Structure 1
Amino acid sequence: MISNYLKLAIRNLLKNKVSSFINIGGLAVGMAVAVLILLWVQNELSFDTYHEKAHRIRQIITHNKVNKEDTWHWATTPLPLAEQIKQLPEIEAVTRVTGPFWNGASMKTDSWTSIEKKVACVDENWFEMFDYKLVDGNLNEFARNPRSIIMTESKAMQIFGSTKASGKIIRIDTLDYMVRAVFKDNPTNSSFQYDFILPMAAYLSNPKNLENDNNWNNYNYETFILLKQGVDISKIDQKVTRVIQYAGRDEKTGEINKDITLEAEPLAAIHTDGIGRFTGAPQGNAKTTYVFLALALIILLTACINYVNLATARASLRAKEVSVKKIIGAGYTQLFIQFMVESILMCTIALLIALGLIYSLLPVFNNLTDKNFTPDLTNLTLWQVLTGTTLMSVLLTGVYPSILLSSFQPIRALKGLNILKSNNSSFRKTLVVVQFVVSSVFLIATLVVFQQIEFIRSMKLGYEKANIFEFTIPWNIREKIDIQTVKSRLLSETSVEGVTLASQNIVEIKSSHSGSLDWDGRPADFEPTVAQLSAEYDFQNLFALKMADGRWFEQNNTADNDNVVLNEAAIRKFKIKNPVGKRFNLHGRKGIIIGVVKDFHYKSVHERIEPLVVFNSSNWRGSVFVKPARGKEQQAIRASEKIWSEFILNRPLEYKFLNETYNNLYKTEQRTATLFNAFAIVAVVVSCLGLFGLAAFAAEQRTKEIGIRKVLGASVAGITVLLSTDFLKLVGIAFVCAIPLSYYFMDKWLQDFAYHITIQWWFYAFIGLLIFVISIATVGFQSIKAALTNPVKSLKAE
């Protein structure tokens, strides 16, 4: 019986080649895009859950209330905390990880040298709590010998040309470490993207490191706990908080520090908690994940609409087939199964084509999402997504048409009466409107995102960043290097126009401070959070900062070592009138405000410009900013590399142009723009395919009418307008519906930016014109083709 259904389904697909092509092609494209998006969504929703003990693992998060307005959130805790909370009855084990190589670890072998960023030091029980699959070696010596290292298989292949790397030696700075094991590359849904792992004992064997970290004031370690089976975790936050509060109590008064609280956060939540971690692992966003899940389903629905539309439109052509089968004894269930088999066959063919598209598009998709999805047919996740997408397609395309086609009444159909007792075109028109609403919303969203990105690129930041590059002296060797000598050497190069030193990159100042600020008139309970920057006398000129009042720091003016420059936002928030010359204390330095710099964007435009304090302390400065002479960028870079190699051996220069740093702030927006471009193209193509199919069917149904009209004198233009008008009305209705929807969603998206564009009327005019041009081209082709048909051919059957 099933084989008979398959034969009938294949014959029907081959008989109606145009509609079959439209259905399968549109659905294949929709399925491919939906599968790629769903792979990403599934990856986001499953972060860190692959560990066997994930449901019992928590990370200790620190919340530091610095003032009435602000609470800082850290993923780190003090080193001694682990030993203290280990005593709590609810906790089975505690382990820690830290990233001591802030500027990357200088590694080398006989044939390889590199600065590696993804390096971590872990406690010896790290691998008892978290799951790693070893491909070579073992972890026995790792726990016993501090001079041990393990690495990912991709790094082993890169360095040694083989995953059999255990026993090999890697030098880190001046010490040799032996490779003890190689583990499979980190899954894409892991927050622990470490390429190299060392024992914590290796780092703490340095007496300076141990002395610096073994106190309750330095928060440099990520701490994870494993809860016992079946324990009551409702009071665990309170208990770990009590530990740190009592440990940090005032030695004289014994008063506990209630500003610090700890939270035991579930392992699966750390990907979307918005708290930065030392490895720089990309953070997720739960809202974005669910938005893209909805978009995947919308695109799949749009593709499935074509099948439903064409199947219901061609219902009258299959009415006699169904009626004859019913008369000779076919039951409702048999007919329903027949039409469901047709749907399943079409979806299966579309799935096979979609697989080819997925394999072709996966490299582009990986580059866009910064993931490493692999086309592995043994991957259970891939098959879960493929199966789910196919089943969804079968349900969307099969159920309604099958019910409709199998419910015809034989007598009405054979008499030529309305087989459905009503006009079914309203349903099809609604589906067409839905398709073009989706297409219009995507196109409008694409234009809004593009305009916002252009606004970001072209907006005045308040400083000059073009043609300037930056490099940083590693913090652990700054005491050994005279950074002023480095600057002087650079300034002596003819390819260098200017050089200045600072503590932070002006594009993104991350350092903030609260607590030591004081000025005349400050309310006793007002301790604001400010961004802080240490800069020298020529910083203002190099970046072309504008002064609103007063002056910048002066060269060789020792009094300026205690003085500060504030931005306009700080003056407004602190409510300081006539600020120049007023007292201002910072970090225990008692100075005055010597100037007010005009506000400039020192963070992403997602955030408003907040108070900034610029001070003049050479001990803080480790970033070198170089402005090459025009046209001599490469010479300036080579000169910097030469000078660097004289001061810092065995470590290549790492530099970055500020334009690149600035663009990196908006990677998410760039990806959003690219994704919306892809969504818009897919939605428009699929919608136009459906419109093309319906137009072709309408022209086919009205062949004799067109012939009669031509015989009576109708023109080609008149017939084209006649056939196109109904479809263009639907497109117009869809676009009108899309306007408020797109405005609502894109206005919400723009609110995430403190500085953004305003949605203009011409956005809608432009997209509306584009939609109508595309629709006219799609429908017009079929309309003109029908209008040009010789009426003799149309009417000869009469």
Structure 2
Amino acid sequence: MFRNYLKISWRNITANRQFTFLNLIGLSAGLASAILVYIWISDELHINKFNQNDDRVYQVMQSVSDGNGAIENTPGLLADALQIEMPEVEYAASVIPSTWFAEKGLFSFNDTHIRADGQFVSNNYFSIFPCSFIEGNANQLFSSKNNLAISKQLALKIFGTTNNVIGKTIEWNQQGFNENYIVTGIFEKQSSNSTIQFDAVFNYAQFLDKNSKLLKWTNNDPYTYVLLKKKSDAHIFSKKIAGFVKTKNADSKQVLFAQLFSDTYLYNRYVNGVPSGGRIEYVKLFFIITIFILLIACINFMNLSTARALKRIKEIGIQKIVGASRRSLIIQYLSESILMAFLSLFLAIAIVIILLPAFKQLTGKDFNLQFDTNFILAITTITLITGIIAGSYPAFYLSHFKPVLVLKGALKNTIGELWMRKGLVVFQFTVSVVLIISVMIVYQQMQLIETTNLGYERDHVIYFDKGGKLSANDADFKQGAVYKDLETFLQQIKTIPGVANASNFRHSIVNREGGTTDVIWQGKPADDQTSFTDIACGYNFIETLGIQMKEGRPYSTAFGSDDDKVVLNEAAVKAMGLIDPVGKNITIWGNKKQIIGVTKNFHFQSLYENIKPCFFDLSMNARVSKIAVRIKAGNEKATIEKLLKFYKSYTGEALNYAFVDEDYEALYASEQRVAALSKYFAGIAIIISCLGLFGLAAFTAQKRRKEIGIRKVIGASVSSIIAMLSKDFLKLVLLAVVIAFPVSWWLMNNWLQSFAYRIQISVYVYLIAAISVIVITIITISFQSIKAAIANPVKSLRTE
């Protein structure tokens, strides 16, 4: 019986090639979209799911209970304190991640120099994040502050082997940690689905030695991770530690909370100190969009099937007369739709294979199409469900006809059936219009981000690490030629033709994190715990970035040493409540500083955040190890080439540089991907919807062919018949537009609320979307309308 169903299904599919072709396009486009999104979502959901103790590993974060709930890194002493004082904690560790450094450090052994990522971890790190060690013992790595462990890959690059590496000395040059380190372990590198990636680990105690301010509870920098004991209640633990910092610093307003580590990737946005969405929103968004795309494809199949129904009613009547039950007919038509779905699947897989390289580039991920059990089961299930949904309405619709009425030609549609088909078209175009409006709003928000005046000039600014390779002329100097005389280095850069200015700095220009509450000023309330972001920089940094001064002056050697001076931004002055701040004294980290200038507010974080109080921390020491160079517009390529040659001759190594504007754009990579993917999905939805509309137009023209013939005989013009056939469809599309407007406004308004700086949704967006859809509709239905209007009325009336 099943074989018979397949035979009949195949004959019906091959009998009408136009019908089959249109359905293959719709269903394969929907299935290809579903497969690509499935691959992406599967990859997203597996990020950070590598730990065998996943359900017990938490990251401890802190927010500020000042109404804003800003998320900050944690105090440097927190991990040890939690492990000692909290019975729920089995292990706790502090981590200074590799991302804390702007660039990779330079590892040197004899004549081999390799740049790689390094991070600082405390003793219990590998008890929380187990790692396979080839050599050495994870529990005995840091018997000395100058010990380190390296990955197998780094060992092979440096030594060419992993044998007899333990005990060898490697030099590491990076931002104030330019010393010799002894290798005490070799480990297998982290899983590719981990957000924690590094090539070497150093002793956190070494970091504390060089950052003594972290020995105070008022300063934050490291990440803190804990492994809770089995059967511990994480929710209770999170509540218990909420006021922990206040027990160490009575004036603190910081509130701690624990978040499952494997959730921090997807739930990375916070409102008032509570996880509130993030990447998970995009996962849900594209899952929902994919469902709608598949539904639109199914509706397309339904409309085309019902449009074709009139050609099969006599077949149905004869089948029923000879004894076919309604159940057998339903199975037959479902078999057709399922067979069509699986034929579409093969085409969809071919489309996916072709589009996968572009999709990987678009999403920024390196995944492959692997036909494993899970994947095959997933796409088979998706295809089967799609086939059943697509064929359900045609199957029940066609099988319910009464054979006597069918053979007499007295078949009539019920009001419910007409509304069903029309409702499906309205649904299709509602989804399409929502997607079109969403794409336009996302694009406008991205344009706002790209064109917003950040308060500094990000164009034509490059930055790079000072470099750590030993000077060829001074091999005994551990910190390299640049560290030996930074001022001379900067002055020589400024003499390069095409260079407008140059300075040194330390922290990220576009997304500076961290902060301190250890700022004291006259009149400061006892309970004030305002967090100030510090930006370590050298002379000319403010000028190099084009940050505007509101009053006073920037750091300058023309006034002698400015080591005991400070420059604030407007937000800092406002937070302190200072009037005429220039000349007044404040205390930062126990050091008295005189305010010499106030800059206008500028964005040193993403536009998701409001501008926070900050101060510029003048520093010319080894830790401020990055160089910013402003290049004059017009001949950037030639200037950079000269800079590359100069750097090579001065340091002995190649220059690796980056553009500030590219870093800024990278902040919004997820949003840019959403914009691009939404654009493609909107296009797919429109194409499939138009196929459905085409099918409904064909159905209507076929049903009314005798009416059209009579109208032509009595003198109706072609244009009047086209208008008659088109107006009903336009009404449906206009209804879809009316429904889509409030839905799209609600969705996009909620999305925009996550930005501190956002566009106002314009009425023109809705007008453009409406006009576009109406024009597309007219073009789609015009073919069938014109074909029906110009048909010979004799052919349609000859059966009467």
List gaps (5 residues or longer) in structure 2.
Answer: 142-146, 173-179, 271-276, 469-477
Using the alignment, how far apart are the partners of 1:211 and 1:64 within structure 2? 26
Q: 1:439 to 1:622 in 2, by over 3 A?
A: same
Q: Residue by residue, what CA displacement relative to the aligned partner does 1:564-594 show, whole Å, maximum 9, x if unpaired? A: 3333333333332333334433333434433
> Do residues 332 (structure 1) and 318 (structure 2) align?
no
Q: Does structure 1 retain, via aligned residues, the 8 Å contact 2:80–2:92?
A: no
Matches within 5 A, 1:702-741: 702-741=704-743
Match of 1:291 in 2: 285
Moved more, 536-545 or 138-147: 138-147
Moved more, 141-150 or 6-15: 141-150
Match of 1:489 in 2: 492
Q: Does structure 1 retain, via aligned residues, the 8 Å contact 2:65–2:253?
A: yes
Q: 1:676 to 1:412 in 2, by over 3 A?
A: same
Using the alignment, how far apart are the partners of 1:221 and 1:540 within structure 2? 27
Matches within 5 A, 1:128-139: 130=130, 139=134
Tell me by how many angstroms 1:148 deviates: 6.2
Task: Name the aligned partner's letter for residue 667 of structure 2.
Answer: L
Q: 1:178 to 1:32 in 2, by over 3 A?
A: farther
Which of the numbers 262, 266, 269 marks the counterpart of 2:263?
Answer: 269
Using the alignment, how far apart are the partners of 2:7 and 2:504 within structure 1? 77
Which of the numbers 387, 390, 396 marks the counterpart of 1:394?
Answer: 387
Using the alignment, how far apart are the partners of 1:295 and 1:469 within structure 2? 39
Match of 1:690 in 2: 692
Q: Does structure 2 retain, via aligned residues, the 8 Å contact 1:75–1:275?
A: no
Match of 2:345 in 1: 351
Query: Secondary structure of 2:264's partner?
Result: helix
Q: Does structure 1 retain, via aligned residues, the 8 Å contact 2:269–2:278?
A: no
Tell me by how many angstroms 1:792 deviates: 4.5
Using the alignment, how far apart are the partners of 1:400 and 1:344 within structure 2? 13
Match of 1:308 in 2: 302
Which of the numbers 454, 467, 471 marks the counterpart of 1:461?
Answer: 454
Using the alignment, how far apart are the partners of 2:346 and 2:78 within structure 1? 54
Moved more, 401-410 or 667-676: 401-410
Tell me by how many angstroms 1:766 deviates: 1.7
Tell me by how many angstroms 1:669 deviates: 2.1
Tell me by how many angstroms 1:308 deviates: 1.9
Which of the numbers 359, 363, 376 marks the counterpart of 1:365?
Answer: 359
Using the alignment, how far apart are the partners of 2:311 and 2:363 within structure 1? 46
Q: 1:524 to 1:382 in 2, by over 3 A?
A: same
Matches within 5 A, 1:177-192: 186-188=191-193, 190-192=194-196
Q: Does structure 2 retain, via aligned residues, the 8 Å contact 1:80–1:216?
A: no
Using the alignment, how far apart are the partners of 1:452 and 1:90 within structure 2? 45
Match of 1:637 in 2: 640
Match of 1:436 in 2: 429
Using the alignment, how far apart are the partners of 1:517 and 1:586 within structure 2? 7
Tell me by how many angstroms 1:377 deviates: 0.8
Which of the numbers 584, 587, 605 marks the counterpart of 2:586?
Answer: 584
Moved more, 693-702 or 228-237: 228-237
Match of 1:85 in 2: 83
Match of 1:280 in 2: none
Moved more, 165-174 or 770-779: 165-174
Q: 1:268 to 1:715 in 2, by over 3 A?
A: same
Tell me by how many angstroms 1:674 deviates: 0.3
Moved more, 562-571 or 452-461: 562-571
Match of 1:605 in 2: 607
Tell me by how many angstroms 1:111 deviates: 11
Using the alignment, how far apart are the partners of 1:787 and 1:656 within structure 2? 63
Match of 1:12 in 2: 12
Q: Does structure 2 retain, via aligned residues, the 8 Å contact 1:79–1:221?
A: no
Task: Name the aligned partner's letter for residue 534 of structure 2.
Answer: Q
Using the alignment, how far apart are the partners of 1:23 and 1:505 within structure 2? 52
Q: 1:792 to 1:673 in 2, by over 3 A?
A: same
Q: 1:563 to 1:717 in 2, by over 3 A?
A: same
Using the alignment, how far apart are the partners of 2:350 and 2:691 within structure 1? 20
Using the alignment, how far apart are the partners of 1:75 and 1:91 within structure 2? 17
Using the alignment, how far apart are the partners of 1:765 and 1:648 within structure 2? 59
Tell me by how many angstroms 1:5 deviates: 0.6
Matches within 5 A, 1:765-776: 765-776=767-778
Moved more, 410-419 or 164-173: 164-173
Tell me by how many angstroms 1:21 deviates: 1.9
Q: 1:692 to 1:165 in 2, by over 3 A?
A: farther
Aligned length: 761
Match of 1:49 in 2: 49
TM-score (ref. length: structure 1):
0.83
Using the alignment, how far apart are the partners of 1:797 and 1:548 within structure 2? 88
Query: Secondary structure of 1:602's partner?
Result: coil
Match of 1:561 in 2: 563
Tell me by how many angstroms 1:431 deviates: 0.7
Tell me by how many angstroms 1:226 deviates: 5.2
Using the alignment, how far apart are the partners of 2:347 and 2:111 within structure 1? 45
Instruction: Using the aligned pairs only, state the percent identity.
Output: 32
TM-score (ref. length: structure 2):
0.83
Match of 2:151 in 1: 150
Q: Does structure 2 retain, via aligned residues, the 8 Å contact 1:60–1:76?
A: no
Using the alignment, how far apart are the partners of 1:660 and 1:535 within structure 2? 21
Match of 2:73 in 1: 74
Q: 1:471 to 1:8 in 2, by over 3 A?
A: same
Query: Secondary structure of 1:549's partner?
Result: strand
Matches within 5 A, 1:162-241: 167=163, 173=172, 186-188=191-193, 190-194=194-198, 196=199, 198=200, 203-204=202-203, 208=206, 230=231
Q: 1:108 to 1:395 in 2, by over 3 A?
A: farther
> Do residues 524 (structure 1) and 526 (structure 2) align?
yes
Match of 2:274 in 1: none
Tell me by how many angstroms 1:390 deviates: 1.6
Which of the numbers 429, 432, 444 marks the counterpart of 1:451?
Answer: 444
Which of the numbers 418, 423, 426 marks the counterpart of 1:425?
Answer: 418
Query: Secondary structure of 1:59's partner?
Result: strand
Q: 1:376 to 1:316 in 2, by over 3 A?
A: same
Match of 2:473 in 1: none
> Do residues 59 (structure 1) and 62 (structure 2) align?
no
Q: 1:536 to 1:106 in 2, by over 3 A?
A: closer
Q: 1:165 to 1:386 in 2, by over 3 A?
A: farther
Root-mean-square deviation over aligned CA pairs: 4.1
Q: 1:733 to 1:231 in 2, by over 3 A?
A: closer
Using the alignment, how far apart are the partners of 1:48 and 1:728 within structure 2? 50
Q: Does structure 1 retain, via aligned residues, the 8 Å contact 2:128–2:227?
A: no
